[in-house]
Structure 1
């Protein structure tokens, strides 16, 4: 195998142009994005303000339940599902659109490389770890976490491990034809060595780490769960290698 740019197909091997699909997203990404939109649309059309508050109360993640469960309706029981369900709720259309756009961008390459189930596992597990990071940095304050950003950040971290790597080519032992084999999964050391991956990762981490400093500059609180972003990102960055096939570089 050798690294290099993509080789053009000889004219005799090129397929004639045909109709192209309108939607290029994997079905699982389309379904997940549609589910997020459907839940928010239903909540805005069906529920009044009190109903939406109850939805966030029962399905948003409230870390303080773990400390004073007896003061919350339902006690600590919602902590069994809210580390996951918070990722399917959003505070408004802008919040939903930003998360959905980010989801489409990074869930697509992860799904094409690993499949629907691994993509969903990374999304959900990153949402859970993001919720735990949120709890660790907000307790004992009363805070409610909603939004898919922790899970989406995990998909971002997973994609960073391979999307900046060069395409690897191999020669078919029978036909001798040179074929693209895909992009290798970079080790964490290689991730820091590759300039584009290093810059993307550093900018992403620094921007999120700087969010808690914004109130000192603007004088206003910022309702962005940077803790969930960072927790989710590093979760995806670390666990993606579990889904590489045996025998591949990881």
Structure 2
């Protein structure tokens, strides 16, 4: 897996929507019960019960999206003592939930600091150029549309799943797909783990193409042990949706500048030709 750190592709306007999305995701995470206070994502039973109740209320659940009905019992956030010991109390839901709206709210929920920071890093690096090309309003609609397509695509493939679906990954996957279509030759600085983190400047088509292939492999359950807890299928659907939506903009997109005289982040001496 490569870690992108910067792209050589300047923008013409300030990416206010990208910045606002990052700020909103961070703020929501800080106010998510049982998560922000723990770097490792660990919490007490009471915090865990509160978190499960919070996610059940605000996250997207495939069963609810496909069948348009709430479960009979949901976590209340309280801790109780049963025949098997302490656990989270469940009861009939005391609130009305819109499955369609839950897709939107789920885009701003994350399960850990690592989940949040990874998503925001990709959004910061690749979102600014896509926003620059689409405009602020167009990018906002595009981002939300990719998130919805990714969530419903995953739900159709996992219609009986009752696990909450959270994270901006589907929408951000759409951003990556759009970037690949619009700026395939842009150079991206990445860190490649090879004994040490080796900095390399690679074309966007290679970085994002490799990312997409990994998602496909992981979605098939190959080479990863937590394929059941990460919605890799949503990443694939979001990526393809982003490519499709960005394709009409490709003909009028100016090419990124071709960087010269750079080698592993340092200025290289020009070579004489005589």
TM bucket (normalised to shorter chain) is 0.5 to 0.7
Q: Tell me the SS of whatever aligns to 1:88.
A: coil
Aligned residues: 196
Structure 1 residue 52: Cα displacement: 2.0
Q: Which runs of structure 2 are paired with 1:26-105 in the superposition (5 Å)?
A: 26-44=15-33, 48-65=47-64, 66-67=66-67, 69=69, 71-72=71-72, 73=93, 77-105=97-125
Shift in CA distance, 221/107, structure 1 to aligned 2, threshold 3 Å: closer
Which structure has the highest helix share of the two?
Answer: 1
* Rounded Cα–Cα distance in structure 1 between residues aligned with 2:237 and 2:227: 21
Structure 1 residue 74: Cα displacement: 7.3
Structure 1 residue 208: Cα displacement: 0.6
Which structure has the highest strand share of the two?
Answer: 2
- Structure 1 residues without counterparts, runs of 5 or longer: 1-23, 167-194
Conserved? CA contact 1:58–1:78, under 8 Å: no
* Rounded Cα–Cα distance in structure 2 between residues aligned with 1:123 and 1:153: 9
Task: Check if 1:204 corresponds to 2:211.
Answer: yes
Q: 1:122 is matched with which residue: 139, 142, 145?
A: 142
Conserved? CA contact 1:211–1:224, under 8 Å: no
Structure 1 residue 114: Cα displacement: 2.0
Q: Which digits, 9 at most, give the CA deviation of each residue in 1:105-150, with x for residues without a partner?
A: 1111011222221111111111101101111222223222100000
Conserved? CA contact 2:217–2:223, under 8 Å: no
Task: Check if 1:106 corresponds to 2:126.
Answer: yes
Tell me how large the CA RMSD over aligned residues is. 3.2
* Rounded Cα–Cα distance in structure 2 between residues aligned with 1:220 and 1:111: 32
Partner of 1:150: 170
* Rounded Cα–Cα distance in structure 1 between residues aligned with 2:97 and 2:14: 37
Structure 1 residue 211: Cα displacement: 0.7
User: More displaced, 83-92 or 72-81?
Assistant: 72-81
* Rounded Cα–Cα distance in structure 2 between residues aligned with 1:33 and 1:206: 26
